Structure 1
Amino acid sequence: MEKVIVLLRRADADDAWCERLRGPVADELLELGFPGVTVNVRDAEVRDPVITLTVLDPPVMALVNLWTQQSYGEDVQAALALLAKECDDVAAYLVTESAPLPPPRTEPGERADALANVALLRRPAELDEQTWLDRWHLDHTPVAIETQSTFGYVQNAVVRALTPDAPVVAAVVEELFPMAAVGDLAAFFGAADDADLQSRMERMMASIARFGADRDVDTIPTSRYVLRSPFTDGAA
């Protein structure tokens, strides 16, 4: 089975659009028979976080994860045609998924009780792919888990783009934080006090700088809805 991530960029996305995407549009995706479908939308619950970075214009306002038997199959092509009607630009990527902290289960269609923060990473030109992956996967992963209040952490390394003119992205990171992290930096990092917060932030920044994630990064705060999980029978 393969995992496809679809980024939806739109300049005028509002809550009605978010509801449509996770409602009627998601239902049409399910009808295409995908073993797994997850929809993340930047809605009112998470729209104004304490931390956000934006490179792409228009920005990414939603993320759709599809699990499929063929990333080049008719189901994926139909899904991309459907999603293209809902945004200014759609970009799809075949990825390999690693889950250092698998997200907790939710009922199908239920909003995860979390800030689902998505980051788009680019590999710096001065780092070869293996060095970049080692510094990200092997060196940074334990630091990210130890310095933040993350309780779900999924790393998606991009294999290749599946749509023409897709923005260059090396990886898509999905992290779940407590809802308090939307507006509270201490809650985001799980810090006990100001000194602890400063220590955690300094350690985190030093770690991400080693693989270039301190620059040229998009972060997208979202609400996460698992419509169908490929890993369970019914529950997400």
Structure 2
Amino acid sequence: MEKVICALWASEGESRDDYGARLVAELPRALKAAGASGIRLNIRDAIVEPAAPLVQQWQQPQQDAAVQFWLPSANAIFRQQVDAVLAEMSGRFEAWLVAESTIIPNAQHQPAPGSRTWGWSQASFISFRPDMTWQDAVAHWHSHHTRVAIDTQSNFEYVQNIIVRPLTEGAQPYGAFVEECFPLDAMTDGRVFFDAVEDEAKFDQNTKAMVDSCAGFIDFSRIDIIPTSQYDFAHLDQA
């Protein structure tokens, strides 16, 4: 099995909210019928609008949604039905083959089938620093930053996806896709985000540790960080 992550853009003239609602209603079952499993949607909707100040943008226009799923093979000749579904449902899409590493599984707020997961999900398309080798960037990410992200944030889910290769022509050369879930209050309160409510010293310490660690491997000129609502459709695999 291979995992695929796709960035999705709404069709011209379609609002982001309408597009997200259409994806939730139609895309998972269509992807399932095309052979995908373990389907998860991340959409930008009104619920996560308060997190707009946390957005970091490279792409113009920026991604409206993302979808994650597994295929027996992501090779192009076996992906044609899936690509056709994504093309039909979107103004455009980009896809990557990834290797998933679940750092913090969501045990606290497990998704209800097909319903919005509690809290909100920060979806990050990141690029590694150009002055580092791929090996050194990944070493910092895995051996240093991962521990910092666990220790300094209120994330109750943390999944790293290292990009193996692009699957669609023109897909941006990101190095990784990261998903982290937080309480809703973390959208507007940095002290909740950094797990430092009513502790100013801890807030300053955690913020600095995270900023310093990110600077150790991320190219901030080539990242897209978007707030999303997470919808998990793993239950379709039992249908």
Q: Could you tell me the TM-score, scaled by structure 1's length?
A: 0.91
- Higher helix fraction (1 or 2): 2
Task: Provide the rounded CA distance (Å) in 1 between the counterparts of 2:7 and 2:190.
Answer: 26
Say whether 1:166 aligns with 2:168.
Answer: no
Deviation by residue 1:91-126 (Cα, 9 ceiling, x = unmatched): 000000001101233232021102110111112221
Match for residue 93 of structure 2 among 90, 93, 100? 90
Amino acid in the other structure paired with 1:116:
S
Amino acid in the other structure paired with 1:103:
N
Match for residue 179 of structure 1 among 171, 181, 184? 184
Match for residue 100 of structure 1 among 96, 99, 103? 103
Q: Secondary structure at the match of 1:85?
A: helix
Task: Provide the rounded CA distance (Å) in 2 between the counterparts of 1:229 and 1:212.
Answer: 35
Contact kept in structure 1, 2:186 and 2:193, CA below 8 Å: yes
* Corresponding residue for residue 220 of structure 1: 226
How far off its partner does 1:156 sit? 0.3
How far off its partner does 1:228 sit? 1.6
Match for residue 59 of structure 2 among 44, 56, 63? 56
What is the aligned length? 233
Deviation by residue 1:7-28 (Cα, 9 ceiling, x = unmatched): 1134754222111101112221
Matches within 5 A, 1:19-58: 19-49=21-51, 50-58=53-61
* Corresponding residue for residue 122 of structure 1: 127
Contact kept in structure 2, 1:52 and 1:219, CA below 8 Å: yes
Match for residue 145 of structure 1 among 142, 150, 159? 150
Match for residue 16 of structure 2 among 14, 17, 25? 14
Task: Provide the rounded CA distance (Å) in 1 between the counterparts of 2:77 and 2:37.
Answer: 14
Cα RMSD, aligned residues only: 2.0
Runs of 4+ in structure 1 off by over 4 angstroms are: none
Task: Provide the rounded CA distance (Å) in 1 between the counterparts of 2:129 and 2:46.
Answer: 33
Q: Secondary structure at the match of 2:4?
A: strand
Structure 1 gaps of 5+ residues are none
Amino acid in the other structure paired with 2:40:
T
Q: Could you tell me the TM-score, scaled by structure 2's length?
A: 0.90
More displaced, 165-174 or 75-84?
A: 75-84
* Corresponding residue for residue 68 of structure 1: 71
Amino acid in the other structure paired with 1:99:
T
How far off its partner does 1:229 sit? 5.8
